[in-house]
Amino acid sequence: MKMFISGNPMSGKTSLIKRLIEDIGKDKFFGFYTEEIRENKKRIGFKIVTTYGDEKILSKVDIITPYRVGKYHVIKENLDEVSKYMIENLEKNSKKIIIIDEIGPMEMYSEVFNELIRIVLKKDINLIATVHRKLLYIVPTYIWLERGNWWDWYNYIKNKIIKEIL
């Protein structure tokens, strides 16, 4: 099973992923999701949160790197490290559901992340990934979230996971 989820900002893509991990159990998943970094109610960046207990800064507004998406400067090395770890440990976690949140412009700066995506698309593994709306052309089919309907899709995906995978 390969499932790709997309939608506009604030449609609930990451909320859906986090809820699946929380409700089904972190031990059933291998991968990461991204969370906003906020300061004084303003978003100042994003961090990578892995299912295996690691956290790294993905991007921030108050640092300077050669890699930039909008006002955010991407710390490519941190994503490289997470992606490399996932590639190296994919086989021993192949019975788990692979989680990637998200396949997006920030992540595309990392050659190692791109290699991870090539590998998981080719392998016969269970994958749930969120995909930035501008990169939908790289996936065969996807679920589109709208504000207010992520809960319906969450229930659909959770039931599908329970019936088909667990």
Q: What is the mean pLDDT of the chain?
A: 94
pLDDT band at residue 61 using 50, 70 and 90 as cut-offs: very high
Q: Can you give the pTM of this predicted structure?
A: 0.92
pLDDT in the model for residue 75: 97
pLDDT of residue 163: 79
pLDDT value of position 150: 85
Tell me the CA distances in angstroms from 79 to 76, 111, 131, one per residue in order.
5, 10, 16
Is a pLDDT exceeding 80 seen at residue 96? yes
On whether residue 43 sits in a domain, the answer given is no
Domain around 119: 2-33+76-164
DSSP 8-state code for residue 67 = -
CATH number at residue 88: 3.40.50.300
**pLDDT tops 80 at residue 4:** yes
Round to whole Å and give the CA distance between 145 and 127: 18
26 falls within a domain: yes
Q: Per-residue pLDDT tens for 5-54? A: 999 988 999 999 999 999 999 999 999 999 999 999 999 999 999 999 99
Report yes or no on 70 lying in a domain.
no
The per-residue pLDDT for range 128-138, each reduced to its tens digit, is 999 999 999 98
Number of domains comprising the chain = 1
Q: Is residue 149's pLDDT more than 90?
A: no
Percentage of residues of the chain with pLDDT beyond 70:
99
125 Rama class: left (phi>0) / alpha (psi -120 to 50) / beta: beta
Do the domain assignments include residue 39? Answer: no
Contact criterion met (CB below 8 Å) for 120 and 89: no
